[in-house]
């Protein structure tokens, strides 16, 4: 079942959750039905871990489709199965997912509470699982606009992270490569500066984030289309805030092109922020971009109301 999740994850990166959610839910129903069968205690633990992993991924696909209550139910199913697996690392992993949903839907306080609960199992977690918890904490503080605590959590994540020990991590944590850590850190920093661009030290930090986003956009391969589109959208927004309108417009056009084939509510949210950031006025290029962005958002919203 682990390989099934890997295949579905790769597919999601290319097409987005709207395409991948139905087969993911079908795989979860099949795995959940197996829980009714008789099996040895050892097989039962493995089955519960597999159900937890599939439920976590199904929850993310459902979240991406904008059905937040259903996503929360799937995360709770994942937590129940993770408890049944007897693996505190799996429990922490699923709790991370639910915490991220809470944070991204505006409930940063609830998300931070969930990570604190996950931290209670620190003695049983690998360093890289702990680093991931610090990343989720950092995002919660970024949404809270608590720059000091956000930076403290970022520092804790980078200090704890051990790339040389990835092979010793459980299968569900082996995606957390140095490149993934860099991606997560950049997104946290981007959330912090997008939240309130007028805060004093954000101008300098915005330049750092722009550089990191530019590097990420260049390095993402075609099969990471969703990440590339989100990165392009966020980069265009920050460039507009910096007054670099020509470069921003070019990046916004890249984002629109990429978004044409992707179903993701996170991308919809970022495109809406970009649309709201466009400079006022009657410049024909900006007017055309505003129209194209509005059309793209309308099309994406029709797919996932």
Span 207-220, pLDDT tens digits: 889 999 999 999 88
Would 157 be classed as within a structural domain? no
CB 255 within 8 A of CB 274: yes
Closest CA to 304 of 257, 252, 256, 262: 262
Would 226 be classed as within a structural domain? yes
Written as six digits, the tokens of 12 are: 């999601």
CB 169 within 8 A of CB 128: yes
- At a CB cut-off of 8 Å and minimum separation 6, what does 70 contact? 62
Number of domains in the chain: 1
Q: Convert the pLDDT of each residue in 178-201 to its tens digit.
A: 988 998 999 999 998 887 656 545
Would 219 be classed as within a structural domain? yes
Q: Convert the pLDDT of each residue in 32-64 to its tens digit.
A: 998 888 889 898 998 999 899 999 999 999 998
**Average pLDDT, integer, range 244-257:** 95
Would 278 be classed as within a structural domain? yes
CA-CA distance, 278 to 286, in Å (whole number)?
Answer: 7
Q: Domain residues for 205?
A: 197-305
Would 275 be classed as within a structural domain? yes
Q: What are phi and psi of 275, to 5 degrees?
A: -60, -40
Neighbours of 162 (CB within 10 A): 13
Would 255 be classed as within a structural domain? yes
pTM confidence score:
0.85
| Three-state DSSP string of 150-213 | HHHHHHHHHHHCCHHHHHHCCHHHCCCCHHHHHHHHHHHHHHHHHHCCCCCCHHHHHHHHHHHH
CA-CA distance, 160 to 198, in Å (whole number)?
Answer: 31
Q: Is the pLDDT confidence value at 305 over 50?
A: no
- At a CB cut-off of 8 Å and minimum separation 6, what does 42 contact? none
Q: Convert the pLDDT of each residue in 260-284 to its tens digit.
A: 878 888 899 999 999 999 988 778 8
Would 259 be classed as within a structural domain? yes
CB 93 within 8 A of CB 124: no
Mean pLDDT, all residues of the chain: 89
Would 213 be classed as within a structural domain? yes
């Amino acid at each position: 079942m682990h390989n099934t999740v890997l295949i579905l994850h790769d597919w999601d990166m290319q097409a987005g959750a709207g395409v991948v959610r139905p087969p993911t839910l079908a795989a979860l129903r099949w795995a959940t039905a197996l829980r009714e069968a008789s099996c040895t205690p050892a097989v039962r633990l493995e089955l519960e871990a597999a159900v937890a992993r599939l439920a976590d991924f199904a929850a993310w696909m459902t979240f991406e489709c904008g059905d937040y209550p259903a996503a929360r139910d799937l995360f709770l199913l994942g937590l129940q199965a993770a408890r049944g697996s007897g693996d505190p690392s799996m429990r922490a992993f699923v709790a991370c997912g639910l915490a991220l949903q809470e944070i991204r839907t505006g409930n940063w306080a609830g998300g931070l509470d969930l990570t604190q609960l996950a931290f209670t199992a620190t003695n049983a977690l690998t360093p890289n699982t702990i680093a991931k918890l610090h990343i989720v904490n950092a995002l919660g503080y970024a949404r809270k606009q608590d720059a000091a605590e956000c930076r403290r959590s970022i520092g804790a994540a980078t200090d704890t992270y051990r790339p040389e020990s990835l092979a010793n991590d459980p299968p569900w944590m082996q995606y957390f490569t140095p490149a993934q850590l860099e991606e997560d850190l950049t997104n946290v920093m981007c959330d912090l500066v997008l939240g309130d661009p007028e805060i004093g030290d954000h101008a300098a930090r915005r330049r750092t984030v722009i550089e990191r986003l530019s590097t990420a956009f260049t390095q993402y391969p075609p099969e990471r289309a969703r990440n590339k589109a989100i990165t392009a959208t966020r980069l265009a927004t920050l460039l507009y805030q910096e007054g670099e309108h020509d470069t921003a417009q070019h990046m916004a056009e890249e984002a629109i092109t990429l978004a044409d084939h992707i179903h993701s509510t996170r991308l919809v949210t970022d495109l809406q922020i970009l649309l709201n950031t466009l400079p006022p006025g009657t410049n024909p290029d900006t007017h055309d971009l505003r129209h194209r962005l509005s059309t793209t958002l309308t099309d994406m919203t029709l797919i996932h109301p």
